[in-house]
């Protein structure tokens, strides 16, 4: 008599965890918001995106909002968030924005510091080059960490 097959079928899914990125600047009102918005928009959901600040402002810089609208990205509804240890722990890549912020260090994370001018108090003409530099850096980052498309 043949034994019945009692083995469970292999239902394990391949590792499909999205890579995740945390952008950090002091106020989370300019550079980190632009970077997070570009990464969300350009990766089309393939990368989990977070942004935070060590001393978050009350609102996003309105001139930054205007500059991003020129690129077809609306920051409406976004608010500055405080940096937490959990946000760093939950991210694969942590990017500071050249503002001297420090993040909790966890082994196995990739840490980058993008040296960028501060858009605080700047007019739109001064913010556009910062925005465009952030977009270029984000496009490079996507090429390095985005999962292959199928």
| Predicted pLDDT at 8 | 46
Tell me if 102 sits within 8 A of 38, measured CB to CB.
no
| Predicted pLDDT at 86 | 94
Tell me if 123 sits within 8 A of 49, measured CB to CB.
no
| Predicted pLDDT at 13 | 44
| Predicted pLDDT at 104 | 74
Tell me if 23 sits within 8 A of 113, measured CB to CB.
no
> Hey, where are the domains in the chain?
25-142
* φ, ψ dihedrals at 124, nearest 5°: -60, -35
Q: How far apart are CA 11 and CA 15, in angstroms?
A: 12
Q: Per DSSP, what are the bridge partners of residue 95?
A: 23, 112
| Predicted pLDDT at 16 | 61
CA distances (Å), origin 138, targets 12, 20, 47, 69: 33, 13, 11, 17
> Which residues of the chain are modeled with pLDDT < 70?
1-16, 100-102, 149-150
Q: What is the DSSP letter of 57?
A: -
Q: If we measure between CA atoms, which residue out of 42, 1, 39 comes closest to residue 20? A: 39
> Domain 25-142 classified CATH 3.40.50.2300?
yes
Distant-in-sequence, close-in-space partners of 96: CB < 8 Å, separation ≥ 6 = 24, 25, 102, 103, 111, 112, 113, 114
């Amino acid at each position: 008599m043949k034994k019945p097959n009692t083995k469970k079928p292999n239902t394990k899914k391949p590792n499909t965890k999205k890579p995740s990125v945390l952008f950090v600047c002091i106020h989370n009102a300019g550079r980190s918001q632009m970077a997070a918005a570009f990464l969300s928009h350009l990766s089309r959901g393939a990368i989990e995106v977070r942004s935070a600040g060590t001393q978050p402002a009350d609102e996003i810089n309105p001139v930054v909002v205007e500059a991003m609208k020129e690129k077809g990205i609306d920051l409406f509804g976004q608010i500055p968030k405080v940096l937490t240890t959990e946000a760093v722990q939950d991210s694969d890549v942590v990017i500071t924005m050249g503002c001297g912020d420090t993040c909790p260090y966890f082994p196995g994370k990739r840490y980058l510091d993008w040296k960028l001018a501060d858009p605080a108090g700047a007019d739109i003409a001064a913010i556009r080059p910062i925005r465009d530099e952030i977009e270029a850096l984000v496009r490079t980052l996507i090429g390095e960490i985005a999962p292959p498309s199928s």
